[in-house]
């Protein structure tokens, strides 16, 4: 979920700087809302623009990297509709700069690209977008509305939906006599991994994430499938639950049975295991498509994607893993004009086609996520092309169908990233054999509650 390019995300787009985010949650929790252009401390809802000939200049922050280039290329399309709005598009290290900018109120941009997991921590400095999003809300993936909602207000313009998929090496499985389409449950995934290991001794077929942050993010993908998350709608910690117990027990079982490759996502050891066909199952967000396109060499063309296995019969076959939105700071000079920019990109056909369609960065279209806006995520009207390095698979159809299965979620708490030194690290200790699943839950719950939640 770098944070400068899709592959390293979280969203590849963006690993959260845990220390910064932890400090952010504590600093912002004690601050009141800013008074910005067009709004006061008692009026935090952005008004719907009414100017029929809008004009002015907006400053938009995006991270350096692939998405910056993609969004930059859309400005000319935006100016066809709004010729009198000048967009100053800046590549910025948002994790390093945004916090102080909002606190000091100096040089505040009009719009910012932000991880969903950070919206809650910044919400007091942001416009409530309830009114401007009203015409589109019913057509936005529920999970994206939920994660951007804080105390009834919506503080982010949803950008992407990152459905979890099961990526698998079709060639390797075929040689082992394994039918991937039959892997409909996590128990069957373990059975398939055992069969593959018998075919290729020494292999460890299932990816087990070694990064504490990404491990926690992947845990949330599994939890999303089960309709839960670390916090409920009121911000109450709900790690101690049958759902998390089931997921952690499964991960522990994969490790104890020697079926998992412990590696950090797309690190040299991970890429090596993937290209050696020792790691052939990767339950991950859609942004794994970057790997066969850019990272893998020996196995390029062999990988395919399918819905995740279900945790229970009839259960959801996907969950959300990562994601980003656009936020509008109250102290921005031209917040309404910035809304028009994001409205065009996300809800206008010309706009979202420019974002997701073929471009100089992604000749076949932006294929590491799908739109959160359901009319744009039409399975029958693909915005990006089949992926040649995945055997020409129509990943658009697979991902959009999976996206529709993602259960609704809850607001991501401001302390989420700060939980990584506790929960994320404890998951790794479990995979090292130092903790049991129950100990992970008990110890992490205690530390998160006392060190993060109680201090807000």
DSSP 47-78: PPP--SS--EEEEEEE-SSHHHHHHHHHHHHH
In whole angstroms, give the CA distance from residue 440 to residue 239.
10
Q: Which helix (H) or strand (E) element contains residue 90?
A: strand 85-91
Chain centroid to CA 170: how far?
26
Which residues make Cβ contacts (< 8 Å) with residue 15, sequence separation at least 6?
Answer: 1, 2, 3, 8, 9, 213, 214
Task: State the pTM of this model.
Answer: 0.89
Determine the length of the chain: 456
Q: Tens place of pLDDT for every residue, the chain, 456 residues?
A: 333 334 444 434 333 333 333 333 333 333 333 333 333 333 899 999 999 999 999 999 999 999 999 999 999 999 999 999 999 999 999 999 999 999 999 999 999 999 998 898 899 999 999 999 999 999 999 999 999 999 899 999 999 999 999 999 999 999 999 999 999 999 999 999 999 999 999 999 999 999 999 999 999 999 999 999 999 988 899 999 999 999 999 999 999 999 999 999 999 999 999 999 999 999 999 999 999 999 999 999 999 999 999 999 999 999 999 999 999 999 999 999 999 999 999 999 999 999 999 988 899 999 999 999 999 999 999 999 999 999 999 999 999 999 999 998 888 888 998 999 999 999 999 999 999 999 999 999 999 999 999 987
Q: Which pLDDT score is estimated for 234?
A: 87
Decide if 271 contacts 261 (C-beta within 8 A): no
Q: Which pLDDT score is estimated for 2?
A: 35
Please, what is the angle between helix 349-356 and helix 335-347, to 10°? 70
440 φ/ψ angles, rounded to the nearest 5 degrees: -60, -45
In whole angstroms, give the CA distance from residue 251 to residue 206.
10
Q: Where does 123-278 have alpha helices with state H?
A: 130-133, 142-147, 170-175, 186-199, 212-225, 242-256, 268-275
In whole angstroms, give the CA distance from residue 407 to residue 53.
40
Residue 145: closest CA among 233, 71, 226: 233
Residue 384: closest CA among 399, 402, 404: 399
- Structural domains of the chain ordered from first start: 6-161+322-377 (3.40.190.10), 164-319+396-456 (3.40.190.10)
In whole angstroms, give the CA distance from residue 360 to residue 354.
11
């Amino acid at each position: 979920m770098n944070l400068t390019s899709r592959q390293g995300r979280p969203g590849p787009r963006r690993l959260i700087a845990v220390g910064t985010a932890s400090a952010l949650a504590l600093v912002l929790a004690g601050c009141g809302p800013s008074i910005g252009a067009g709004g006061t401390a008692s009026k935090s809802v952005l008004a719907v623009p009414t100017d029929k000939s809008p004009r002015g200049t907006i400053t938009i922050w995006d991270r350096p990297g692939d998405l910056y280039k993609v969004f930059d290329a859309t400005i000319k399309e935006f100016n066809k509709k709004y010729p009198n709005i000048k967009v100053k598009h800046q590549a910025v290290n948002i994790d390093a700069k945004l916090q102080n900018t909002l606190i000091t109120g100096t040089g505040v941009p009009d719009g910012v690209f932000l991880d969903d997991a950070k919206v809650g921590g910044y919400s007091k400095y942001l416009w409530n977008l309830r009114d401007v999003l009203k015409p589109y809300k019913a057509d936005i993936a529920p999970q994206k509305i939920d994660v951007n909602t804080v105390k009834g207000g919506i503080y982010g313009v949803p950008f992407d939906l990152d459905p979890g998929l099961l990526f698998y090496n079709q060639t390797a499985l075929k040689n082992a006599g394994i039918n991937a389409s039959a892997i409909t449950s996590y128990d069957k995934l373990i059975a398939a991994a055992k069969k593959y290991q018998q075919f290729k001794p020494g292999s460890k077929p299932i990816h087990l994430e070694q990064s504490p942050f990404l491990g926690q993010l992947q845990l949330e993908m599994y939890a999303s499938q089960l309709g839960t998350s670390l916090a409920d709608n009121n911000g109450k910690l709900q790690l101690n639950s049958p759902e998390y117990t089931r997921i952690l027990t499964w991960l522990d079982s994969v490790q104890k049975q020697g079926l998992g490759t412990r590696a950090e996502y797309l690190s040299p050891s991970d890429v090596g295991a993937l290209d050696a066909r020792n790691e052939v199952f990767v339950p991950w967000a859609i942004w794994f498509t970057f790997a066969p396109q850019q990272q893998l060499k020996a196995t390029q063309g062999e990988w395919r994607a399918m819905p995740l296995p279900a945790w229970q019969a009839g259960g959801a076959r996907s969950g959300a893993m990562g994601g980003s939105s656009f936020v509008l700071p109250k102290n921005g000079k031209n917040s309404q004009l910035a809304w028009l920019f994001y409205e065009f990109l996300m809800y206008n056909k010309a706009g979202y086609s420019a974002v997701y369609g073929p471009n100089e960065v992604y000749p076949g279209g932006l294929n590491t996520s799908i739109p959160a806006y359901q009319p744009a995520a039409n399975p029958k009207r693909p915005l990006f092309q089949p992926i040649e390095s995945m055997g020409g698979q129509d990943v658009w159809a697979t991902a959009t169908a999976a996206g529709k299965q993602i259960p609704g979620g809850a607001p991501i708490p401001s302390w989420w990233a700060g939980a990584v030194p506790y929960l994320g690290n404890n998951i790794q200790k479990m995979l090292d054999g130092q903790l049991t699943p129950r100990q992970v839950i008990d110890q992490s719950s205690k530390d998160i509650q006392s060190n993060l939640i109680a201090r807000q």
